Structure 1
Amino acid sequence: MPFSIALWQGIARTDDVATALADLRAGVTAAAAMGARFLVAPELFLPGYNSARITELAQPRGGDWHQALAALCRAAGCGLVLGYAERAGDTVYNSAVAFDAAGQEVAHYRKTQLFGPREKAIFAPGDSLCIFEAEGRRAAILICYDVEFAPLLRELALQGVQLLLVPTANPEPNIHVSRLVVPAHAINHGLTICYANYAGREGDLAYCGGSTIVAPDGAILAFSGPAPALLIADLSYQPDPALLQTQLADYRRVR
């Protein structure tokens, strides 16, 4: 089945939700015009990964941010996946939400592998994976650092996941994650991975870009440089059977 997906490698609009939503409106509209069924945007796009006001600005699941995002999807006829700061009572999570082209929430995930002392001071970790159907494909969401943990990807692959959507906020000098880690995981676990990073600077962070879409045979279907970009790839691409790996079936546990 034809299925195109887009990545939005935008500038972080720290604490400026109105401008961030305007950026997303432009991105979702452009992605839809090019035939994409989903657009994936970066981690903590609302209110910005490097915001000093995350705990103040975090919103509950289903709140005003979600209503605005759902409306964007309905207007454009394109789904959307992005990260946001979620408040649940006194707890804040680094979360991601997915809406379909009709503006219906189809998935919600809380980052399980928090990166560094800052994230661990702000957020509580999630405790479950998120698997859903996207255009007839079994899909899942991970967030940034999550995708660097092979056991998570192995578990998703064993549950039949084919498509992994990853909002991220990856700063310099960590371009190796896009160039090496993500392709290696894609081929080793038989997954298509869509990895959406920021461009430019956000306070004292300089993002390395490198948003990418990688097929299960390791083919790079899209890759960006460091500048703002809208990427799109057709996921009906047929992997080279000779390059598909069988580690999941062949693995023999040893002590």
Structure 2
Amino acid sequence: MPDLRLALMQAASPAGDCAAAFAAAEHGLRAAGAAGANVLVVPESFAPGYNSDAIAALALARGDAWQDRLAAACRAANCGLVFGYAERDGDAIYNAALALGPDGAELAHYRKIQLYGAREASIYQSGDAYVSFDLAGHKAALLICYDVEFAPHIAALAAAGVTVLLVPTANMLPYTHVMRATVPAMAANHGMTIVYANYCGIEGDLNYAGGSLIVGADGDVLAQAGMGPALLVADVPAVDAARLSSQARDYRVVR
């Protein structure tokens, strides 16, 4: 397979300041592009911020000028971008992620399927479809935060041939088990490289857990952040087929 270099940005929440979110994404793209990354993943609902109390008012329409701005930043950096945002579509609000290529073209658009808790359910409508796309010769897909904790979603994507999963997230304390155990296990069990891009710092009543990571298809952690801002870059290694999970082939259904 072609070589693939992946990057993520762990950052504090823009906390309702969409202009700051775009500026931070542009800064991250310049750094990731200079490092030769094919794509940069930023956190969930990066515009306007996951815990903003004005998400409905600040939600963005897909394809507006903000998307043109990020597309131009991708072209300038020669790096793709996965950008989590609150999307307005008519009267509906979705927790969404947009994937842009190094040329600024839209590669995929995804709406979070598994809304987390009463707050998200009170703001957003649920998505109802997976998306996949070509990323430098690899079949990639998007999930958002809580989605990646559900093995059936990962299994469905793996069955469709997805080998790279890009995940904006907003994971808060005390849920560090997700980075420590869940994400590496999902990668290993389904033979999939996973990029999990989280926030750090405090936003309102949330203390984000940091710990963003890039995990190989054999479950090895290729790069991981601590509790502060970080830009991680990792190459996807060739993995010995003997180390890849055979669960999909070996699974026995018990009636």
How many Å separate the matches in 1 of 2:66 and 2:7? 21
Q: Greater shift after overlay, 119-128 or 18-27?
A: 18-27
The structural deviation recorded for 1:119 is: 0.2
TM-score (norm 1): 0.98
Structure-1 residue corresponding to 2:24: 23
The structural deviation recorded for 1:44 is: 0.0
The structural deviation recorded for 1:113 is: 0.4
3-state DSSP of counterpart to 2:38: strand
Q: Greater shift after overlay, 93-102 or 19-28?
A: 19-28
Structure-1 residue corresponding to 2:217: 216
Unpaired runs of 5+ in structure 2?
none
Structure-2 residue corresponding to 1:82: 83
Structure-2 residue corresponding to 1:38: 39
TM-score (norm 2): 0.98
How many Å separate the matches in 2 of 1:18 and 1:155? 36
The structural deviation recorded for 1:64 is: 2.4
How many Å separate the matches in 2 of 1:242 and 1:135? 24
- Say yes or no: does 1:69 pair with 2:70: yes
Percent identity at matched positions?
55
Structure-2 residue corresponding to 1:187: 188
Q: Where does structure 1 differ by over 3 angstroms across 4 or more consecutive aligned residues?
A: none
Within 5 A, what are the aligned runs for 1:225-244? Answer: 225-235=226-236, 237-244=237-244
Structure-2 residue corresponding to 1:153: 154
Structure-2 residue corresponding to 1:169: 170
3-state DSSP of counterpart to 1:22: helix
CA RMSD for the aligned pairs? 0.9
Structure-2 residue corresponding to 1:14: 15
Q: Greater shift after overlay, 245-254 or 136-145?
A: 245-254
Deviations 1:41-63 (A, max 9, x none): 00000000001111111111111
3-state DSSP of counterpart to 2:175: coil
Structure-2 residue corresponding to 1:200: 201
Structure-2 residue corresponding to 1:254: 254
